[in-house]
Amino acid sequence: FWMLGTNIGQVGWPQSGEVDIMEYVSRIPDNIFGTIHGPGYSGGAGFGNAYQFPGPVASDYHTFAVEWGPDEIHWYVDGINFHNATPADVAPNEWVFNHPFYLILNMAIGGNFGGDIDPTMTFPQELKVDYVRVYGAADTAERFEASFADDTAGWRKVEIPFVFFRRSAVQPEGAPDDGLTLTAVNGYGFGLPANSSGSLMLDQLRVEPTVTVPAWVGRIHQTTEADPLVYGSIITVDVRATNYSGTTAQPFLVVPLDGEVGYVPGSATDGAFPLTAGQMAALGYAVAAQANAGDVVAVAYNNPVANGQDATFSFQVRVQAAQGAVQHTLLTPAGATSSNRLDITPTVIVELPLLADTWVSSGLPNQNYNAFAALIARTSGVDNVLLTFDRSTLPVGARLVSATLRLNATFQSGADGKELRVMNVTPFDAATVTFADGLTFYNPGPAIPVALGPLDLDATAQVAGWDAAVGRFAAQDGLGYLAVSASGPAGRVAFDSLETYRAQPPTLTVVYMP
């Protein structure tokens, strides 16, 4: 029962190494032998030991084993340790047992070790084996990781200095926490980030003795919980830049926003801050021609960082494109680093035309407000805004991603703290409808707080409800109906309408997958 190095075809024997887990010769019926063979200690000069049984070995089954690890091998028979080997035992010769081996089970007769063949021997003879098992020790190796961006078509060389590696967040039980010492490397692997696409092809992996490390090394990575990633989805951008300049420095780190996204206000962390197009231009950075001076176009960081330490921050962006891909670049004093790429699942964005708007009031149940110059929602009673949209450009049964109703609030009375909700409503004629018509309001959406100016209400469930409605609740003649209600402290909220002078009337933007 023995092993040979898998490289025997390249280096030959004994350079490949040989581990004899158990050797038995019938001329010494009470003994078994455990031995290693390598360059300078092979054949009769191998390093081994014998174990003597109280009787013939062949009279019963026995368990033979080795425990094998880097720079050590231990032999056992029936749980008894009878031999050990380390590099010191074969020095100054080379230890050749820290690479893969394969197992061999065989029975032979004669030879130098077996001796002369007994002329009375009969055939066939048997070697009976109950089982062969291979066990692995618990994997307690400490994990480290580093990332890189593949932003080049075709093959390219990627250098990752060991100083880039950081201890992984997830470690096996019993893993040490003593840093990346490189005294032993038990394995490595590669993987693609979550929610990324494409394939990873590797040609060679080499360890080089020296690599030039720049003064600043940046890493930037994007993640999202959206699946699929579509218009309106949120992406988190995590940034880290390590100072290798040799001294404490205060870098100006900048991440220009990808053209397919918009900054989520207030999302920058750890001292990072948004930069507007005007500020970027004043700092000498290129700015897209279509950007307004007040538009947020980048996120920056400008705090002191000690040598060998990291500047870390994150921020969030919202996808504002119907298709394409999102990839960000971190600009450091030493150069640029690109993030992973996230592909946007194509969608269609339509703004449904507003055909009519009005409101109804339980206080004046027979009054029609279609020609009124504002839309009113009141918290007391039932004063709800009514909207009629042309839904002919939205396919029946479309796979909705989102629907956003925008209202422009111009006035509110009473105390603050009011909230608005969008709802479904039974069909109506805006030119004649009154509260007395007995409209049914149902399927309320999430509430948003009232503030003057543009307000965006989530109407996804309500637009989806147009297809779900049946009977008298169903949309008619390619029309879609929505209502808006107010709740909270007593008072009313006024909005622009189609009849308001220089108005910003309600809009309904729908995103769906074709």
Q: Within a domain: residue 97?
A: yes
- Provide CB contacts within 8 A for 291, sequence distance 6+: 277, 297
Burial 51-70 (b: 16+ CB within 10 A, else e): bebeeebeeeeeebbbebee
Q: What is the pLDDT of residue 381?
A: 82
The answer on 402 and 464 residing in a single domain is yes
For the cut 80, the answer to whether the pLDDT of residue 435 exceeds it is: yes
Q: What are the tokens at 421?
A: 């909700």
In three state form, how does the secondary structure of 428-471 look? CCCCCCCHHHCCCEECCCCCEECCCEEEEEECHHHHHHHHHCCH
Residues 242 and 259 placed together within one structural domain of the fold: yes
Query: Residues 300, 377: one domain?
Result: no
3-state secondary structure of 472: helix
Is 135 within the bounds of a domain? no
Whether 489 is covered by a domain: the verdict is yes
Examine the domain organization and report whether 330 and 368 are in the same domain: no
Secondary structure of residue 305 in the 3-state scheme: strand
Strand partners, 13: none
- Given a contact cutoff of 8 angstroms between Cβ atoms, the answer to whether 418 and 412 are in contact is yes
Residue 444 is assigned to a structural domain of this protein:
yes
Same domain, 417 and 441: yes
**What span, in angstroms and rounded, lies between the C-alpha atoms of 339 and 221?**
5
CA distance 325 to 315: 18
Domain boundary among 344, 379, 410: 344
Q: Is 18 a catalytic residue?
A: yes
For residue 52, is pLDDT > 90?
yes
Residue range 473-477: average pLDDT? Answer: 56
Residue written as tokens 């696409």?
Answer: 197
CATH of the domain at 265: 2.60.40.10
Nearest to 386 by CA among 353, 429, 442: 429
CA-CA distance, 53 to 387, in Å (whole number)?
96
pLDDT exceeding 90 applies to what percent of the chain?
A: 69
pTM value is 0.58
pLDDT digits (tens, 9 = 90+) for 73-112: 999 999 999 999 999 999 999 999 999 999 999 998 888 8
Q: Which residues form the domain of 463? A: 350-513
C-beta separation of 493 from 484 below 8 A: no
Lowest mean pLDDT among 209-213, 274-278, 362-366, 389-393: 209-213
pLDDT at residue 413 above 60?
yes
Of the three residues 322, 344, 366, the one that is the final residue of a domain is: 344
CA 429 to chain centre: 50
- Is residue 114 within 8 A of residue 23, CB to CB? The reply is no
Regarding whether 43 and 171 lie in a shared domain, the answer is: no
**Domain harbouring 464, CATH code:** 2.60.120
Q: Identify the domain boundary among 306, 322, 344.
A: 344
Contact 193, 219 (CB under 8 A): no
pLDDT at 496 over 80: yes
> Per-residue pLDDT averaged across 448-461, rounded?
95
- Is 325 in a helix, a strand, or coil? strand
**Looking at residue 45, which CATH number applies to its domain?**
2.60.120.200
Strand spans (E) along 292-391: 296-301, 310-319, 324-326, 329-332, 335-338, 342-344, 348-352, 354-361, 375-378, 383-390
Q: What is the pLDDT of residue 470?
A: 52
Using CA atoms, how far apart are residues 427 and 407, in angstroms rounded to an integer? Answer: 21
Question: Does 258 lie in the same domain as 233?
Answer: yes
Task: Indicate whether 121 belongs to any domain.
Answer: no
pLDDT at 151: 66
Mean pLDDT, the chain, integer: 91
Count of domains observed in the chain: 3
**Same structural domain, 92 and 225:** no
Residue 214 sits in the same domain as residue 340: yes
Query: Is the domain of 253 the same as that of 392?
Result: no
Query: Which tokens hold the place of 45?
Result: 């000069």
Taking each continuous run of H as one helix and of E as one strand, the counts in the chain are 5, 33
Are residue 205 and residue 305 in the same domain, yes or no? yes
Check if the beta carbon of residue 231 is closer than 8 Å to that of residue 322: yes
Q: Dump pLDDT digits (tens) for 173-183.
A: 989 898 887 77
Q: In terms of Cα–Cα distance, which of 76, 68, 70, 71 is closest to 22?
A: 76
Cβ count near 291 (within 10 Å): 17
Burial of residue 486 (number of CB atoms within 10 Å: 0-12, 13-18, 19+): buried
In a domain? residue 98: yes
List 23, 142, 419, 499, catalytic entry:
23
- Does the residue 469 lie in any domain? yes
Q: What is the pLDDT of residues 251-269, one digit of tens each?
A: 999 999 999 999 999 999 9
Structural domain contains residue 137 = no
List pLDDT tens digits, range 311-349: 999 999 999 999 999 999 999 999 999 999 999 999 999
Residue, of 165 and 357, whose pLDDT is higher? 357
pLDDT for the residue 182? 75
23 included as an active-site residue: yes
Is 486 in a helix, a strand, or coil?
strand
For residue 477, pLDDT beyond 90: no
Residues 331 and 394 in one domain: no
